[in-house]
Amino acid sequence: MLSVRFLRPARPVARYYSTASAKNNAIGFIGLGQMGYNMANNLALKAGRPLIVYDAVKDTLTRFKDQNKDVETASTPAEIADRASTIITMLPASPHVKEVYFGKNGIMEGLHKDSMVIDSSTIDTAVAKEVAAEILKSGSRALDAPVSGGTGGAAAGTLTFMVGANSQEDFDSAKPILEHMGKNIVYCGQNGNGQVAKICNNMLLGVSMIAVAETMQLGIKLGMEPKLLANILNTSSGRCWSSDTYNPCPGVMPTTPASKNYQGGFGNTLMAKDLRLAVNAAQDAHSTVAIGALAAQIYNQVSSTPEYQNLDFSSVFKVTIFGYCHN
């Protein structure tokens, strides 16, 4: 997970924002985790603009620079904001976003008026709105643009971006940049709505993955061959993404994390976090999410089990074998 320890900038910057206009056409990218690394790599290959990257892990920065010789690096988020007219962040959770934007040497310290700031993290809707409000107050454009499509989509540049923006004009300005990293760029309405779409999607994803894992386990224990069972499900009314694209049973699909000891992909800890966001949002909205809440409990239990914390979320299939989800 990306840490938030910052180095002192090379020169002092004003608190919150400069009145000077953004000086160049550079894109700044902050957060080179499993998703962000691939997203930034696509920008380096396709955008045709200078790219400046930052991550708190120096080894990650070095590796990215070694693979993309023309890319520049920065020592703090504030330096990224000072040097780039478009800033994109991809961070693990709400506390990281608040620290990177509002903390010492954070984005708001170096931000120029008329910049464009896009946060692709999956975070609390209230935090997304708070960040957007401060950016808009500074005279820049703010968009929340969380993604769906996993690490495979990030590498292939086929992500779906769910975008909340202050106006259609702001969305239209950001869309060409996002198209270097994604295939489906969807305007969801006002700031914060991108996060609403994302947490709804991921709640359904978590629920469906548990359901497919339990279904595959049941069929196998009743004597069905896994690939045959999966083929039947995927040509029947139970078909879903968790069954036909990301099946959690090892050996059914050779390219999925399930067939690679559940390495890579989207971690259990992140799924647990996203489900908590969905349940909290549902409570605030007085909306009933009984199955979503149960899925949140299951993934919280899975992600709290040390040997499963860093495995892909499809490893819930393996967990069900040992009964952790059925106490």
Distance, CA of 275 to CA of 280 (rounded, Å): 9
CB 60 within 8 A of CB 37: yes
SS (HEC) of the chain: CCCCCCCCCCCCCCCCEEEEECCCCCEEEECCCHHHHHHHHHHHHHCCCCEEEECCCHHHHHHHHHHCCCCEECCCHHHHHHHCCEEEECCCCHHHHHHHHHCCCCHHHHEEECCEEEECCCCCHHHHHHHHHHHHHCCCEEEECCEECHHHHHHHCCEEEEEEECCHHHHHHHHHHHCCCEEEEEEEECCCHHHHHHHHHHHHHHHHHHHHHHHHHHHHHCCCCHHHHHHHHCCCCCCCHHHHCCCCCCCCCCCCHHHHCCCCCCEHHHHHHHHHHHHHHHHHCCCCCHHHHHHHHHHHHHHCCHHHCCCEHHHHHHHHHHCHHHC
Distance, CA of 5 to CA of 74 (rounded, Å): 14
Distance, CA of 52 to CA of 314 (rounded, Å): 34
pLDDT computed for residue 241 by the predictor: 96
Distance, CA of 277 to CA of 202 (rounded, Å): 10
- Specify the CATH number of the domain 196-326: 1.10.1040.10
pLDDT computed for residue 235 by the predictor: 98
| Fold of the domain spanning 17-191 | Rossmann fold (3.40.50)
Give me 77's structure tokens. Answer: 């988020």
What Cα–Cα distance (Å) separates residue 276 from each residue in 144, 271, 281?
19, 9, 8
Query: Global pTM?
Result: 0.85
What ranges do the domains of the chain cover? 17-191, 196-326
**Amino acid letter, residue 306:** P
pLDDT by residue for the chain (327 residues), tens digit each? 334 343 334 333 434 444 334 457 999 999 999 899 999 999 999 999 999 999 999 999 999 999 999 999 999 999 999 999 999 999 999 999 999 999 999 999 999 999 999 999 999 999 999 999 999 999 999 999 999 988 889 999 999 999 999 999 999 999 999 999 999 999 999 999 999 999 999 999 999 999 999 999 999 999 999 999 999 999 999 999 999 999 999 999 999 999 999 998 889 999 999 999 999 999 999 999 999 999 999 999 999 999 999 999 999 999 865 555 443
pLDDT computed for residue 321 by the predictor: 55
Fold: same for 17-191 and 196-326: no
pLDDT computed for residue 23 by the predictor: 54
**Amino acid letter, residue 168:** Q
Which residues have a catalytic role annotated?
Answer: 198
